[in-house]
Amino acid sequence: MNNLQRGELNLGSSLTIGNYWLPSKLSQFKQQFPGISVNCTLGNAEEIAKGTATGRFDLGLVTGDVKPALRDILEQTVVGSERLQIVVGRSHPWFKRSEVRTDELVNTHWIIRESGSGAQQRFEQALQSWNVNSGDLKIVLVLTSSEMVKAVVEGGIGAAALPELMVQKELELKTLHALRVIDNHTNPQKSLEILQPIWKLKHRQRFQTQILVAFEQILNNTVAIAS
């Protein structure tokens, strides 16, 4: 592997993964293989899965579900995980609270991602598991970028479910506040978490280059260290 001198790696990544989780892996790869050109395209989970299936990307990294039509084409492997946090801005009535009940989630305005977003898919799955009908949420904005969602929520308009990785600085600066979600009907002492896997997507039948194998080793080493 250390003899890899030149070549190209084409990656597709969902937005939050590409902005916050992937850069350290890319830096490690470039340090080991400086002659390899890396191209990374960001999009929502649906776009990245489709691009990997059609051969546009050597490898895709997403948090959302892969459509059934693509599951026979794409091999899926978990390479990490991320947590979604329910966050509000300073002027929100929940800002000084430490927790919110599941039956209160329908009482505030929400800023959400589009339906093709992995984070939005996982949020809706979590609501379903909490017996909260997502159709009952007061949705005031649907945006195509988690960064936009974060900025709007910081401005005080509603709540959002955002990846923990992307709100760490705002939580430290106290421009955003994260709330525990509890189910007062079953176990009010237990926090309900929204965890989503980070999936590595590969075409099942495409030739696997040595460059791709080398990058996958970095991803696998990360998983081994984390576990």
- Number of Cβ within a 10 Å radius of residue 212: 18
* Mean pLDDT of the chain, nearest integer: 91
pLDDT at 226: 43
Determine contact, residues 134/104, Cβ cutoff 8 Å: no
Q: Which of 81, 106, 108, 86 is nearest to 171 (CA)?
A: 86
Distance between CA atoms of residues 133 and 122, nearest Å: 14
pLDDT (tens digit per residue) in 127-152: 999 999 999 999 999 999 899 999 99
Check pLDDT > 90 for residue 187: no
pLDDT band at 111 (very low <50, low <70, confident <90, very high): very high
- The reported pTM is 0.78
Distance between CA atoms of residues 199 and 64, nearest Å: 8
Burial class of 41 by CB neighbour count within 10 A (0 to 12, 13 to 18, 19+): middle
pLDDT (tens digit per residue) in 3-47: 677 899 999 999 889 998 999 999 999 999 999 999 999 998 899
Distance between CA atoms of residues 76 and 71, nearest Å: 8
Structural tokens at position 168: 């760490």
194-203 and 138-143 beta bridge pairing: unpaired
Percent of the chain with pLDDT over 70: 93
E strand spans, 35-73:
36-43, 59-62
Determine contact, residues 181/85, Cβ cutoff 8 Å: no
Check pLDDT > 80 for residue 188: no
